Amino acid sequence: MAGSTFGTIFTVTTWGESHGPAIGVVVDGCPAGLPLCADDIQQDLDLRRPGQSAYTTPRKEKDQVSILSGVFEGRTTGTPISLIVYNEDHHSADYSQIQDIYRPGHADYTFDQKYGFRDYRGGGRSSARETIGRVAAGAIARKVLTTLGITVQAYATAIGPVKIDMTAFDATEIRRNPFCLPDADAAKKAETFVQDCMSRQDSAGGIIECIADGLPAGLGQPVFDKLDAKLAQAIMSIGAVKGVEIGDGFAASESTGSDNNDSFCVEHSANAGAASAHITKKTNHAGGILGGISDGSRLIIRAAFKPTPSIRTEQNTVNRTGESIKLSIGGRHDPLVVPRAVIVVEAMTALTLVDLLLQNMGSRMEYLERIYR
């Protein structure tokens, strides 16, 4: 695999550069018969679109998606779904002055080292616009999950040093503040912090948490394609992510076995009049994964985002020939990527889950007999 494809059965292949004519994705292996229209995808794309608050870039990008294949009479056909978003005004900018400069924190130098040269316009392939393909594909994965009663939701738990108070968690707050924080107080503190950053022409990072509910136990392939391992790859492959954790994550390393182990218990429930009992866990330090396989509890994954590398503050760097350069990056850049990355984290989580749901269908002979006999 050359790196632009993700997934084993439900495969996603993204393509496109920031300043090429278009950006897109091919989703192969989507089960046939899923109701799908462009609006289903546009909804998610609109959540990553810039210009939605004072704290994201004021660039105007409509990012209108078209479905080019794989959907017929409102349902997926089982064949590749090709999605395209045309880049607007991609001819306008003049990037010639930065074509030889290596911006700190960016991939300019490493692309040159890997390929011998690079498309230097607006980050080229390593631009955040590459996530358009991920979000568009993720919207399809989300529809598959919804059909099966599985939901995926992400939100920020920290903006720079400002953390949310977990006991004040309020899901309805998430899309009410510009930082996707599920805590109104934290959102106010974050606003002060980010405004301060912006006034110093600097940028900030943060943490995004993603949860999935309704997952059946049993997802994740043993050993290398564990649910947590594939999620770690999926999330770490997002541009600015520098860390990933599951459940208690790094905090678990300071805990003890007796505290960190989640006891199993039986939960009694009454559905439609009939009493039933099922095995569950009293706590969820594990974040819904044991031995790399979903345990039926809530899935919890967390990602650390570094501060946006594009800052107006003057920086020292060199150019292609090794000359020292002073660099101040103008233009309209996000002071923090977290708000627009929330939907990207959801997308990568959904893509991983659908692929593992499909892989898991072959885990028992009785499943084959259910389909084929």
CB of 352 within 8 A of CB of 143?
Answer: no
d(CA 335, CA 343): 17
Helix/strand/coil for 124: helix
Q: Rule CB under 8 A: is residue 126 a binding residue for a copy of itself? A: yes
**Span from 12-20, 48-56, 90-98, 168-176 in contact with a copy of itself (CB under 8 A):** 12-20
CB of 278 within 8 A of CB of 62?
Answer: no
Amino acid at 237: S
- Which residues in the 247-306 window bind a copy of itself by CB under 8 A? 247-250, 252-266, 277, 279, 281-282, 285-287, 290-296, 304-306
Q: Which is nearer to a copy of itself, 58 or 291 (CB)?
A: 291
Kindly state the smallest distance separating residue 349's Cβ from a copy of itself, in Å. 14
Judged by CB under 8 A, which of 44, 173, 209, 245 binds a copy of itself? 245
d(CA 152, CA 154): 7
d(CA 154, CA 185): 18
Question: In this structure, is the dihedral angle defined by the CA atoms of residues 179, 185, 186 and 192, taken in order, positive or negative?
Answer: positive
* Helical (H) or strand (E) element with 157: strand 151-159
Judged by CB under 8 A, which of 6, 55, 155, 179 binds a copy of itself? 6
What angle do helix axes 338-360 and 227-236 make, rounded to 10 degrees? 150
Q: Rule CB under 8 A: is residue 79 a binding residue for a copy of itself? A: yes
**Span from 37-45, 46-54, 115-123, 181-189 in contact with a copy of itself (CB under 8 A):** 115-123
- Which residues in the 128-167 window bind a copy of itself by CB under 8 A? 130, 144, 147-149, 158, 160-161
Kindly state the smallest distance separating residue 194's Cβ from a copy of itself, in Å. 11
Judged by CB under 8 A, which of 58, 62, 72, 89 binds a copy of itself? 72
**Span from 43-51, 57-65, 169-177, 308-316 in contact with a copy of itself (CB under 8 A):** 308-316
Q: Which is nearer to a copy of itself, 102 or 172 (CB)?
A: 102
**Span from 38-46, 88-96, 173-181, 225-233 in contact with a copy of itself (CB under 8 A):** 225-233
**Span from 47-55, 89-97, 101-109, 182-190 in contact with a copy of itself (CB under 8 A):** 101-109
The DSSP call for residue 103 is -
Q: Which is nearer to a copy of itself, 172 or 268 (CB)?
A: 268
Judged by CB under 8 A, which of 136, 228, 347, 353 binds a copy of itself? 228
The distance of Cα 173 from the centroid of its chain, to the nearest Å, equals: 20
Size of the site for a copy of itself (CB under 8 A): 168
Judged by CB under 8 A, which of 204, 342, 347, 353 binds a copy of itself? 204
d(CA 239, CA 307): 11
The pair of three-digit structure tokens given for residue 357, joined into one six-digit string: 């749901």
Q: Rule CB under 8 A: is residue 95 a binding residue for a copy of itself? A: no
Kindly state the smallest distance separating residue 46's Cβ from a copy of itself, in Å. 22
Kindly state the smallest distance separating residue 43's Cβ from a copy of itself, in Å. 20
Query: What is the number of other CB atoms lying within 10 angstroms of the CB of residue 116?
Result: 7
Angstrom CA distances, 171 to 115, 271, 346, stand at 44, 25, 15
The pair of three-digit structure tokens given for residue 2, joined into one six-digit string: 């050359």
Cα angle, residue 332 at apex, residues 331 and 338 outer, rounded to 5°: 135
Kindly state the smallest distance separating residue 49's Cβ from a copy of itself, in Å. 20
295 burial level (CB within 10 Å; 0-12, 13-18, 19+): buried
Kindly state the smallest distance separating residue 225's Cβ from a copy of itself, in Å. 4
Q: Which is nearer to a copy of itself, 153 or 283 (CB)?
A: 283
Q: Residue 227: which of 297, 155, 278 has the closest Cα?
A: 297
Bridging pattern class, strands 324-327 and 315-318 = antiparallel
Q: Rule CB under 8 A: is residue 52 a binding residue for a copy of itself? A: no
Q: Rule CB under 8 A: is residue 33 a binding residue for a copy of itself? A: yes
